[in-house]
Amino acid sequence: MEKNFYTFLFEDTKNSDQTDYDENDVVIKATREDNTHVKYILMASGANDELYLHQVNGRVINQNVEVHKIFGSDSRGFINTETKNYPYVEDLVTVSSSFSFLDPNCQPILENRTKGYNTQVSRAGEGPMAIMIPYDFKWSKERIRIDRSYPLFGNWGRNMIEFTDWYLYPEESLVIEP
């Protein structure tokens, strides 16, 4: 079985000129618990837009409930991106034994209904609008670019083979500890 723990980080825009690249507009962690179960933990939302998660299909975390409402918030605002102000939300989801986080059809997708598009994990050559990290991860505080909170991130963007450990070196004052 593949690595069993991933952190997914999303930006809420597709326009690279309009993003703050803090990669915290939705933060969700996923753990393969066993052959047929994945535990998802919704950690943060640093966006004001109406957001929905697809391809999770849990009882609590699913495409039918807006992300802020999953946290129990009636307003759209910053949840766990400036300080930890809401508890994390967990959901255990039954999956097929062939489920793989490496399959794009199994990775969470962020729908931004305010702006009218979806964001999925970036592929080679695409800007970092969604990133899948195979480890636990401290996400950037609100409006702190990921290349500031993780100074080696830009090196990884230029050479993904040589700079594979960029996420191990955060500027601690600029990230949220899970």
65, 81 Cβ separation under 8 angstroms: no
Q: Which pLDDT does position 82 carry in this prediction?
A: 95
Q: What is the pTM of this model?
A: 0.94
The per-residue pLDDT string of the chain (178 residues; one tens digit each, 9 = 90 and over) reads: 555 899 999 998 776 666 788 999 999 999 999 999 999 999 999 999 999 999 999 999 999 999 999 999 988 889 999 999 999 999 999 999 999 999 999 999 999 999 999 999 988 777 788 999 988 899 999 999 999 999 999 998 888 888 889 999 999 999 998 8
Using DSSP bridges, classify how beta strands 37-46 and 5-10 pair: parallel, antiparallel or unpaired.
unpaired
Nearest alpha carbon to residue 109 among 14, 5, 1: 14
The pLDDT tens digits of the residues spanning 76-127 come to 889 999 999 999 999 999 999 999 999 999 999 999 999 999 999 988 777 7
